[in-house]
Amino acid sequence: CCGGSCITACTGCQSCDGSSCADDDNECNSSACEECNNGVCEDSCDPDKCESCISGTCVVCEGTGETCCDGTCCRTGPDGECSTPTGDNPTMCTNTSFGNCCNGHDNCYWTCSSDPDHKSECDVAFSDCMTDVCDALEGVEWVVCFAPCTAWRLVYWIAVELVGQDAYDYDQECACCLE
């Protein structure tokens, strides 16, 4: 009963404030970032601002340092790493690093484009770059490393063709949003 008259019963996260019911944030779970809104405990973090609750505090992009752009947590550009489990030089030969090819591919994905062929163009340029790396081998290194180099080029190209769409979509969403 509120105000001693038993006319109004406070509900949810409201408590009696003299003669009427009022929202009381103390009735909500502060460690879950809840606040009272019209008698209902609600999440106080705003997903449109990329906020989530960590240890009772609303944190943007889970504290990763990423930037929120239209409700998506975005890193601010390519990280300069070849995003494969085998790194940029899977053959371990001296002159078979695909590092520059990976960086070029990442930068291409991070270039905002409305062209429906953009991903394919990025992937073909990646493949061509890796082909150039393998074709530049000479002498003993060509004998030892050419076949594994071309095999890994094919593996990397197939990977971006088969499973690269999500990475491309994320990079495009962020690149275009952050422009």
What pLDDT is stored for residue 5 in this prediction? 58
* DSSP three-state, residue 53: strand
- The residues pairing with 53 across neighbouring beta strands, listed in sequence order, are 58
Residue 34, both tokens: 């809840």
Own/partner pairs, 51-57, CB within 8 angstroms, 24+ separation: 55/31, 56/30, 56/31, 56/32, 57/33
CA gap 160, 126 in Å, rounded = 9
What pLDDT is stored for residue 2 in this prediction? 60
User: What does pLDDT average to in each consecutive run of 10 residues of the chain (179 residues)?
Assistant: 60 79 82 86 89 87 87 83 81 93 94 96 97 96 96 94 93 91
Are the beta carbons of 174 and 75 closer than 8 angstroms?
Answer: yes
What pLDDT is stored for residue 3 in this prediction? 55
